[in-house]
Structure 1
Amino acid sequence: MFAYRSTVFGTLARASAAIAVVAATTFASAAADAGTLNVNVSARANQRSTWQDAFDKFKKANPDVDLKVSYIDEEAYKVQIGGWLATDPPDVVSWHDGERMAYYAQRGLLEDLSADWAKDGWNDQYASVKGASTWNGKQYAAPLGYDAYGFFYRKDLFEKAGIKSEPKTLDDLVAACKKLNAIGVQPIAVAARDSWTLAAWFDYLDLRINGNEFHQQLMAGKVPYTDPRVKKVFTTWKSLMDNHCFMENALSYDVDSIAPVLVSGKAAMMLMGTFFSASFPANMKQNVGFFRFPVIDANVPMAEDGPVNVLLIPAKAKNKADARRLLAFMETPEINAQLARGWGQLPSNNKAAEPDDPISKVGFQTLANTSGGIAQFYDRDMQKEMADEGMKAMQQFYSDPSQIDMLLARLETTRQRIYKK
């Protein structure tokens, strides 16, 4: 009996010692990580200096925080973020509002920030984008800048082609395309290798033809893709192709490689968000104009895309206290305005200074005076799986526009499968 008890006590003693070592190691590790704040950011090369300047200001104001930032290419980021959130995420990630945020919130992968919205005054300062940052009555996102979408255009090429004014209607746009083709300039550049750029075309054609109410019903999976109104979007798009409005080999270009096409004067226009203004050299910006997507049906109220970029705290983040400090800092009117200015975006904080950049001013006024509603964007208003299939179909349509009926039938089969779930 004594021998048995000795063996048991010896085993317990060794176990206790082992537990003490593990506990000490865990405590030391936690202490070491307590001041480390890991942040993953989706950023193009020309956006990183703006991010870094804001992060440097945060570090100066919070010297006790060891801030570690990883910049990741946008397309790779989209693929990787789901894996981070589900397994071992950083403490803060950049992302998109609307359905893209809700997709992860409803899976329990994001921290509830409702208390931060109340405590830090965001309910007032970010009232216009609160809805896009909310899922199931709670806020999960800290808004940054947002984009207005429209046409960038080269003023000198318009003048050379004899285009007297910015196109106000679709007929005006087609007429401008014909004049540009006549002087050997490709009318509209398209970075179709990034499928979301085609989604901007789908959004605007649908918003101008069918209106925002129909568009949101389609985004919610409540309208068949075989509906004649959806087909009209694609047949209108095809008519622009038939009139040679788009550049050649568009599927070979992504957003990072398309800017030289406009800078060199090989193309005259491009439908894109205001953030794209950062792609133009400073000495060229005075020669670049910006106008809203033209009217197609005068009876349809003008709606716009105004996607919001955000910061999120993953539910499994290790340093949520410092993550909240960073978000509170980034959401101040001064930093929100600074970020928007550096990215060529619009500040979403209503106490931030209005933009002074000419293109951003046009975008600001466009969204401020929009009567038909503001959509987030095709792949931000829709369930991810459906959005991915839709954008894949758009690339196939762009490659072969004769396949409209086949593509719409396939998308309808996909819609029924996804939304039946």
Structure 2
Amino acid sequence: MKLPIRRLALACLTGAAIGAMTGAATPAQAGTLNVTVSARGNQRATWQNAFDQFKKANPDVDLKVSYVGEEAYKVQLSGWLATDPPDMLSWHNGERMAYFAKRGLLEDLTNDWQKNGWNRTYASVKQSSTYKDKQYSLPLGYDAYGFFYRKDLFKKAGITDEPTTWAQLLDDCKKLKAAGIAPIAVPARDAWTLAAWFDYLDLRVNGYAFHQQLMAGDIAYTDPRVKRVYEAWKTLIDDKYFIDNALSYDVDSISPLLVNGQAAMLLMGTFFSAGLPTATRNEMGYFRFPIVDAAVPVAEDGPVNVLIVPAKAKNKADARRLLAFMGQPKINGELAMGWGQLPSNNKAPEPQDPISKVGFQTLAGTTGGIAQFYDRDMTKEMADEGMKAMQQFFSDPTQLDSILQRLETTRKRIYKK
């Protein structure tokens, strides 16, 4: 039975986060700048360090920051923007940003981009920050996606090289399983982690242009090309290359499986490395999602995290001061480094962490297109239904045809196509 949205959100929050939500809805007092951001536990210190630097440089601003857990944040954001929001919020670029810009809920930051020189320093991510030729967000860090893997477990299974093709990946999974090692961990309780699998298989099987048409609702889910994506995925499920009980794990609970050597690989964004113990991080390698069809140009996911100013914010002047501060190359680089991400500002130092460096080089050399991520490239209602369907498919892949038919019915209803 589904809980009402408000009860569901409250059930997801700790007492501290509930307090943060309450603070987010409190009207701003004179001279007060209210900011609410989404953060996992290991991300808060990085946020706070940047905010502390801003407070030191701007002692006249009474900055109040609230932290909310990621899943609860997603539930609450629409309500905040539509009613009585804080002065600044963290969010995502692409369709997720455009959705609110289209509804007049975000402050137009085009002049800030011009004034602060962001058209140059954030040139590579300007498009994803834009809706109808206007900019509505400040890019922060972004993630490359690929496979984390335990080098020692690969060696134990007799694997000497990172797989670069789908056939090699399947062969490596077979070797790992024969050695008594679960080949691939996936925290499927968080449905968006399954969306990463769909994104990459679709990008590798059908290419970027097809993928964006599908995200826009222009292609039927009963199209044979969509089914081919799921059939490739089904091979891994049928051969039991994923961990057991994957639907019981979320991102925060999956780490011990890699730390303790119970699983060899994980498809995830570079941010994941920031939460790993140093010893494990030193044992970890990272490689690009393998090629499935050599004739398809290589595309990647590169989702950008951003700051936005609500149209109904009360202290827009100080919000713009904070934006300008956070957009500096030094601060942008520090945020990205602390989160295990890549800096969006092209004047920020390149990442030195080995995994982040591979991710940076991967995206820098990508010519086939860079997608924002499944639930950031697609309208929210369709994305929610699509990710729910992925969990159902993962639980019982024999239901694929009925799942795709249901998604097609949903697509027609949402997009009127």
Name the TM tier (shorter chain). over 0.9
Shift of 1:244: 1.8
Partner of 2:305: 309
Shift of 1:285: 1.5
In the alignment, does 2:75 pair up with 1:79?
yes
Shift of 1:185: 1.1
In the alignment, does 2:380 pair up with 1:384?
yes
Correspondence for 1:207 among 203, 207, 226: 203
Q: Extract unaligned runs of 5+ from structure 1.
A: 1-28
Shift of 1:370: 0.7
Correspondence for 1:127 among 102, 110, 123: 123
- Contact 1:47-1:342 within 8 A present in 2 as well: yes
Q: Which has the larger radius of gyration?
A: 1
Q: 1:383, 1:265 → 2: CA distance?
A: 38
In the alignment, does 2:153 pair up with 1:157?
yes
Partner of 2:317: 321
**1:241-295 CA distances to partner (integer Å, 9 max, x unpaired)?**
1222111100000001111111111101000000000121012211100000000
- Contact 1:177-1:244 within 8 A present in 2 as well: no
- Contact 1:155-1:287 within 8 A present in 2 as well: yes
- Contact 1:95-1:312 within 8 A present in 2 as well: yes
For the residue of structure 1 that corresponds to 2:148, the secondary structure is strand
Task: State percent identity of aligned pairs.
Answer: 74
In the alignment, does 2:356 pair up with 1:353?
no
In the alignment, does 2:242 pair up with 1:246?
yes
Q: 1:414, 1:306 → 2: CA distance?
A: 27
For the residue of structure 2 that corresponds to 1:34, the secondary structure is coil
Q: How does 1:209-248 map to 2 (within 5 A)?
A: 209-248=205-244
In the alignment, does 2:114 pair up with 1:118?
yes
Question: Following superposition, which runs of at least 4 residues in structure 1 exceed 6 angstroms of deviation?
Answer: none
Correspondence for 2:326 among 319, 326, 330: 330
Q: 2:104, 2:78 → 1: CA distance?
A: 12
Correspondence for 1:188 among 184, 209, 212: 184
TM-score w.r.t. structure 2 length? 0.93
TM-score w.r.t. structure 1 length? 0.92
Partner of 2:287: 291
Q: 1:279, 1:160 → 2: CA distance?
A: 25
What one-letter code is carried by the residue in structure 2 that aligns with 1:217?
Answer: Q
TM-align CA RMSD: 1.1
What one-letter code is carried by the residue in structure 2 that aligns with 1:88?
Answer: D
In the alignment, does 2:129 pair up with 1:143?
no
For the residue of structure 2 that corresponds to 1:144, the secondary structure is strand
Q: 1:43, 1:282 → 2: CA distance?
A: 21
Q: 1:342, 1:279 → 2: CA distance?
A: 10
Q: 2:400, 2:258 → 1: CA distance?
A: 30
**1:101-133 CA distances to partner (integer Å, 9 max, x unpaired)?**
001111111000000000000001001100000
Q: 2:63, 2:157 → 1: CA distance?
A: 52
For the residue of structure 2 that corresponds to 1:55, the secondary structure is helix
What one-letter code is carried by the residue in structure 1 that aligns with 2:261?
Answer: G
- Alignment length, in residue pairs? 392
Shift of 1:178: 1.1
What one-letter code is carried by the residue in structure 1 that aligns with 2:130?
Answer: T
Q: Extract unaligned runs of 5+ from structure 2.
A: 1-25
**1:134-156 CA distances to partner (integer Å, 9 max, x unpaired)?**
01111000000000000000001
Q: 2:311, 2:54 → 1: CA distance?
A: 23
Shift of 1:179: 1.1
For the residue of structure 2 that corresponds to 1:290, the secondary structure is strand
**1:311-341 CA distances to partner (integer Å, 9 max, x unpaired)?**
0000000110000000100000000000000
What one-letter code is carried by the residue in structure 1 that aligns with 2:152?
Answer: D
- Contact 1:174-1:243 within 8 A present in 2 as well: no
